[in-house]
Structure 1
Amino acid sequence: MGLTKVDTKGRVVIPRDIRKRMGIKPGEEFLITEIDGDTIVMKRFDVRKMLEGMIKNAKGINLDELKEETEREGNRVAKELYDL
């Protein structure tokens, strides 16, 4: 745990001991999420890992089936919303 401040440009410094333990290097990106009014969570953001996961999940997708399913769902929602 460490104490840090927000500077005039909105930047926050991650304390050195935390950076060292976690192997955080300059230029790494993080996702920042507000949990509630006084809690923020930072998670390492690895674009390569995210893209690899997306590609892995997309390999089994049949585009024709996806298009048909999208049209069916759009028609279902339109019927509900507009009493068609």
Structure 2
Amino acid sequence: MVIAKLDKRGRITIPKEIREELMLREDDELLIFKLSSNILVMRKIDFTQMINEALEEFKSLKSRDIEKIKQDVNEIAKEKIENLS
């Protein structure tokens, strides 16, 4: 965890290691939400890019990986249904 300070003009600098890890660049858009007396900062989501990246990742999966995902999803769904009872 990193603590950042607000400067007198109301700006926050996102630490370099976080910017690099998240590949944030100048002019990237961030969403700022007010939650009660706190704030939440998130990268603006590019749904088209996210979907294209997910499709590329799915294309690279092997059939055994897909079967494992199906099993995991079914197990989670089963647990959720059992918890509703």
Task: Normalising by structure 2, report the TM-score.
Answer: 0.49
Task: Normalising by structure 1, report the TM-score.
Answer: 0.50
Q: Which has the larger radius of gyration?
A: 1
